[in-house]
Amino acid sequence: MKGQKIVYNRLNYYRYPESEHREARCYYHNPLTGRRLHVVIWEDHNNCSVPKGYHIHHKNGNYDDNTIENLTCVPIGEHIRITLKNLTPEQKEKNIQHLAAIRPLTKKWHGSKEGHDWHKNHALQRKPLAIKKNCEVCGKEFIDKSGHGRFCHQNCKATALRRRRGIKPK
């Protein structure tokens, strides 16, 4: 397969327009560093790394245009929305067919011992939340470990429920 090469800061970056893999087809990539050219250009220009949770987006959708004016740092969610919005109907249909084909495989994997072990290990690695909050009923400060707690105690939760239902205290 014939590739295209760009030299940037004395490093070679390659892409392969005939590849069946989008990553290799669209983006220039350095095989030694494992980095994409457009990300390196953005980082060099801004003198910092791409923040965690962000991607570098080609504003005009042209992956050949790696000028700094065409590169912007956006949150991952926004980048995904932009990318999906710009898909052709054929690309959307291909994605739908792909998801339909792999859905049974993912269900099977999640039910397997390997899937259970993977989720168990990742659950153990997840840091528990510990957020200081004020109780919505009594105002007392408490530590919320769930990430969505609103009350310091079950009594306050019950009081809030009674108030919401219009039940008068005895």
Distance CA 157, CA 149 (A): 10
Query: Domains in the chain: how many in total?
Result: 3
Asked whether residue 142 falls in the same domain as residue 161, the answer is yes
pLDDT, one tens digit per residue, over 136-145 is 999 999 998 8
Q: What is the pLDDT of residue 136?
A: 94
Residue 170 resides in a domain: no
User: What angle in degrees, to the nearest 10, is found between the helix axes of 113-125 and 89-111?
Assistant: 90
Asked whether residue 111 falls in the same domain as residue 60, the answer is no
Asked whether residue 19 falls in the same domain as residue 69, the answer is yes
Q: What is the pLDDT of residue 127?
A: 65
Residue 32 resides in a domain: yes
Question: Using an 8 Å Cβ cutoff, are 153 and 141 in contact?
Answer: no
Asked whether residue 95 falls in the same domain as residue 81, the answer is no
Distance CA 135, CA 129 (A): 17
Asked whether residue 71 falls in the same domain as residue 141, the answer is no
Q: What is the pLDDT of residue 129?
A: 65
Q: CA quadruple 65, 68, 69, 73: dihedral positive or negative? A: positive
Cα 150 to Cα 85, 146, 155, 162: the distances in Å are 37, 10, 12, 15
Q: Which domain holds residue 141?
A: 131-165
Asked whether residue 113 falls in the same domain as residue 72, the answer is no
Q: What is the pLDDT of residue 130?
A: 78
Residue 60 resides in a domain: yes
Q: What single-letter DSSP state applies at residue 49?
A: P
Residues in the chain predicted with pLDDT less than 50, given as ranges, are none
